[in-house]
Amino acid sequence: MARLVNEDGCGPEAGSSMHREKGRTEARWGPQHAGARELANLYSPGKRCQEWISVILCFSLMAFNLLHLIANFHLGHVWFILLAVAAGILTADFASGLVHWGADSWGSVELPIFGKAFIRPFREHHIDPTGITRHDFIETNGDNCMLTIFPLASMAISFLTLSPAEVYHNYPWYCYVFAIAIFVTLTNQIHKWSHTYFGLPGWVVFLQDCHIILPRKHHRIHHVSPHETYFCITTGWLNYPLERLGFWRYLEDLIQSAMGVKPRTDDLKWAHKVN
Ligand SMILES: [Zn+2]
Ligand SMILES: [Zn+2]
């Protein structure tokens, strides 16, 4: 497999030594940033175990449901499948934006259990954006796999317990849920590819160039500090319309006036960490 190379145009090892050089003289975004180092050290064996279990369960359920969807396919379902995939992609893109916005803007790494497990990767990603390119498959996809276990399990139970007539009746809904599950599961892999500048398979670059998955140039807009827009990271299709509507700012104003808390205070705290 081709070696993955990050946004700096260097491989992981070269990137690290380059950042070490920079780190001697000034605090920079990257693996040598004091906050990034501290956040990377919070990745625990328990968290790793949760990710492994999530990946195994999620992909087993996905294979099980795919086999049942194929077994129950009828020609009359073709249009439903196309509609379901389109709606599933849009729903997954919006969900990616909502979760990303929520984790970037609110909460803190100090929150018990949840903070270290689920807020930490978002903080780390802003101060070390290419860190994700050094994460393996399990660390990249574990959390998203965990999110889709419940809907996939509930679909699997339906296939095991419902009559063929009931499955036929529910088939369009299953296609929609399955499309969401696939795209939500793949969101962080797609996000990782959007930070990888060399060594990507040709078909991934093709999908990025056609804007079927999140393009690299498009995602750079989110990485301009203070990271307050373009939160959708599955396809990014909803980023422009949501920005035009002022959707995220509206939500932030609503929460700020209701609860008196300012968005991104924890994110800024980690960004300014110097030792
Ligand atoms: Zn972000
Ligand atoms: Zn990113």
68-124 pLDDT per residue, tens: 999 999 988 899 889 999 999 999 999 999 999 999 999 888 888 788 878 888 998
CA 219 to ligand 2 centroid distance, Å = 6
CA 221 to ligand 2 centroid distance, Å = 9
Assess if residue 253 is contained within a domain: yes
Assess if residue 15 is contained within a domain: no
Q: Does the structure show a pLDDT above 70 at 247?
A: yes
Q: Does the structure show a pLDDT above 90 at 43?
A: no
The confidence score (pLDDT) of residue 1 equals 34
CA 26 to ligand 1 centroid distance, Å = 23
Amino acid at residue number 44 = S
The confidence score (pLDDT) of residue 39 equals 64
The confidence score (pLDDT) of residue 201 equals 95
Domains: count for the chain: 1
Q: Does the structure show a pLDDT above 80 at 12?
A: no
Assess if residue 221 is contained within a domain: yes
Assess if residue 6 is contained within a domain: no
For range 179-201, the mean pLDDT: 94
Domain that holds residue 91: 29-271
Task: Work out whether the CA dihedral 83, 143, 62, 132 comes out positive or negative.
Answer: positive
- From the CA of 196, which ligand is nearest? 2
Assess if residue 174 is contained within a domain: yes
- From the CA of 122, which ligand is nearest? 1
Provide CB contacts within 8 A for 182, sequence distance 6+: 62, 88
CA 41 to ligand 1 centroid distance, Å = 20
CA 97 to ligand 2 centroid distance, Å = 12
CA 271 to ligand 1 centroid distance, Å = 12
Q: Does the structure show a pLDDT above 60 at 2?
A: no
CA 181 to ligand 1 centroid distance, Å = 21
CA 264 to ligand 2 centroid distance, Å = 16
Q: Does the structure show a pLDDT above 70 at 197?
A: yes
Rg of the chain over CA atoms, in angstroms? 20
For range 228-257, the mean pLDDT: 96
Assess if residue 83 is contained within a domain: yes
CA 231 to ligand 1 centroid distance, Å = 6
Assess if residue 76 is contained within a domain: yes
Q: Are 139 and 47 within 8 A, CB to CB? A: no
The confidence score (pLDDT) of residue 72 equals 94
Confidence of residue 29 (pLDDT cuts 50, 70, 90): low
CA 170 to ligand 1 centroid distance, Å = 36
The confidence score (pLDDT) of residue 38 equals 67
Provide CB contacts within 8 A for 207, sequence distance 6+: 213
CA 251 to ligand 1 centroid distance, Å = 16
- Write the pLDDT tens digit of every residue in 150-163: 999 999 999 999 99
Buried b or exposed e, range 100-118, using 16+ CB within 10 angstroms: bbebbbbbebeeeeebbbb
CA 81 to ligand 2 centroid distance, Å = 30
Query: What distance in Å separates the CA atoms of residue 269 and residue 274, rounded to the nearest whole number?
Result: 10
- From the CA of 230, which ligand is nearest? 1
- Write the pLDDT tens digit of every residue in 131-182: 889 889 999 999 999 999 999 999 999 999 999 999 999 999 999 999 999 9
CA 87 to ligand 2 centroid distance, Å = 24
Confidence of residue 67 (pLDDT cuts 50, 70, 90): very high
- From the CA of 191, which ligand is nearest? 2
Confidence of residue 42 (pLDDT cuts 50, 70, 90): low
- From the CA of 271, which ligand is nearest? 1
For range 50-56, the mean pLDDT: 95
The confidence score (pLDDT) of residue 267 equals 86
CA 170 to ligand 2 centroid distance, Å = 36
Mean pLDDT of the chain: 86
Assess if residue 94 is contained within a domain: yes
